Amino acid sequence: MPYATITGWGKCLPPATLTNEDLATFIETSDEWIKSRTGISQRHISHVDTSALASIAAKRALAAAGLEGSDLDMIILATASPDTLIPNIASTVQAEVGAKCAAFDINAACSGFLYGVGLATAQIKSGQSQRILVIGAERLTFYLDWSRRDTAVLFGDGAGAVIIEATDKEEGILSYELNNDPSARDILKAGFGTAMDRFDSASLDFYLQFDGQEIFKRAITGMGRLSAKVLDNCGLTKEDVDLVIPHQANERIIDTLVSRMKIDKQKAFVNIANYGNTSAATIPIAICDALEQGRIQPGQKILSCAFGAGLTSAALLIQWGERITPIAVSDAQLPECKETGLELVKRAADYFNAKAQ
Ligand code: ACO
């Protein structure tokens, strides 16, 4: 049976950023509160659709693997904020990269990318596919209620992608676990104009149900349980783990997770300060950053885990291959952005603040 290994990676962060100080100009919050409670300093705000972010990340991942779009057998795009529900936005990426293959979106919220990697691994191990592009891409800031300080401070936009290829070498995704707990689906719930009553304009509004403390607790339990399981599946222990790449929803969640698992905190990769929670895009962006910073080395064992609305959870254990540098670098770029992060969100902030009066 072949192994499934990561051979390419790419990320796309929109250029405009919104700092904690920017946020404090239109909601009652402070840099001190956000940093101390979450670890976030700034987030990126997109001026383009989710599919545009995804397409750039995909082109960069293809170049890093030394492949063309036409080499792909499948495209899996994880997102909870697609620019269209029908058709899927994987098809936009497919057209952009010139692929002739299966392409579909999945929604497992913040765990979506790891779900996609799990599906791709199974597809490759079954012999059905040789090369799969898995993307996590989000534009959640487009859907936020910017008058709610409990959630507006948490999220950011971005995309990340990997190429997963079949190999005979004993490396790559050694084990994965996916789970969902529907009993807690109401503690994180958002409707983006998905009306209860299609003919009542009030119900067309965005709504958000969010119980941060309950999510916090369940995130640690869910990620901890599945992380232990993937290690166990491989006959490994926490001592074998070289690097942990966890979902970045709150730095305190990451600290508690590794402390409960008795893994050295220095082994946890944390980049939440720059991006906030980019949901499904978080882990592929973190993989790219970890490679750029030299935190991933050949042959290392990497534990990755995530948690999100659903409530979904996922974990995987990767044994990285030999190559930690891209084969080529794509020159794909987003269109220029002429506005600041504050300008991009200001109209939505004014709308929601007027409504909240
Ligand atoms: N600025 C200032 N004060 C704030 C803000 C803010 N942005 N948000 C909340 N507060 C206030 C609250 O009103 C409350 O004030 P009160 O004591 O006067 O009532 C106080 O701060 C404490 O609020 P808590 O909700 O208890 O704060 P907590 O320490 O739990 O942190 C947080 C909230 C950051 C949301 C945390 O619960 C969390 O990280 N939860 C899990 C992450 C999460 O839910 N992410 C969403 C995506 S799901 C996922 O990715 C897994």
Q: Which two tokens stand for residue 121?
A: 């691994």
Of residues 209 and 286, more confidently modeled: 286
- The pLDDT of residue 252: 97
Arithmetic mean of pLDDT, 144-152: 91
- What pLDDT does residue 301 have? 98
Mean pLDDT, range 216-239, rounded to an integer: 96
pLDDT confidence band for 197 (50 / 70 / 90): low
DSSP strand pairing (172-180 vs 312-319): antiparallel
The pick from 37, 216, 221 for probing ligand 1's pocket by mutation, whose C-beta has the most ligand atoms within 8 angstroms, reads 37
- Is 44 annotated as catalytic? no
Protein residues with CB under 6 Å of any ligand 1 atom? 29, 33-34, 37-38, 110, 149-150, 153-154, 188, 212-213, 215-216, 219, 249-250, 277, 307-308
Least confident of 171-180, 186-195, 289-298: 186-195
Is 180 noted as a catalytic residue in this protein?
Answer: no
Report residue 196's pLDDT band, with 50, 70 and 90 as the boundaries: low
Any catalytic annotation for residue 110?
A: yes
Amino acid letter, residue 318: I
- What number does the ligand 1 atom closest to the CA of 149 have? 7
Burial of 37: CB neighbours in 10 Å, binned 0-12, 13-18, 19+? middle
pLDDT of 208 reads 79
328-346 average pLDDT score: 96
pLDDT score at 353: 80
pLDDT at 83: 94
CATH classification at residue 217: 3.40.47.10
pLDDT, tens digit, 9 for 90 and up, residues 36-83:
999 999 999 999 999 999 999 999 999 999 999 999 999 999 999 999
The closest of 295, 293, 271 to 13, measured between CA atoms, is 271
Look at 78-87, 127-136, 226-235, 348-357 and tell me which has the smallest mean pLDDT: 348-357
pLDDT band at 206 (very low <50, low <70, confident <90, very high): confident
User: What's the number of domains the chain is made of?
Assistant: 1
Six token digits for residue 63: 């170049």
DSSP E strand boundaries for 42-86: 42-44, 74-78
- What is the reported pLDDT for 220? 96
What is the mean predicted confidence (pLDDT) over 150-179? 97
Which residues sit opposite 348 in a β-bridge?
Answer: none
Specify the pLDDT at position 204: 55
pLDDT > 90? residue 190: no
For residue 338, what are the domain limits?
1-357
> What one-letter code names the amino acid at 273?
A
134 has which bridge partners? 76, 162
Q: What is the pLDDT of residue 342?
A: 96
pLDDT in tens, 90-146: 999 999 999 999 999 999 999 999 999 999 999 999 999 999 999 999 999 998 889
Average pLDDT over residues 210-238: 95
> Which residue in the list 12, 271, 277, 288 is annotated as catalytic?
277
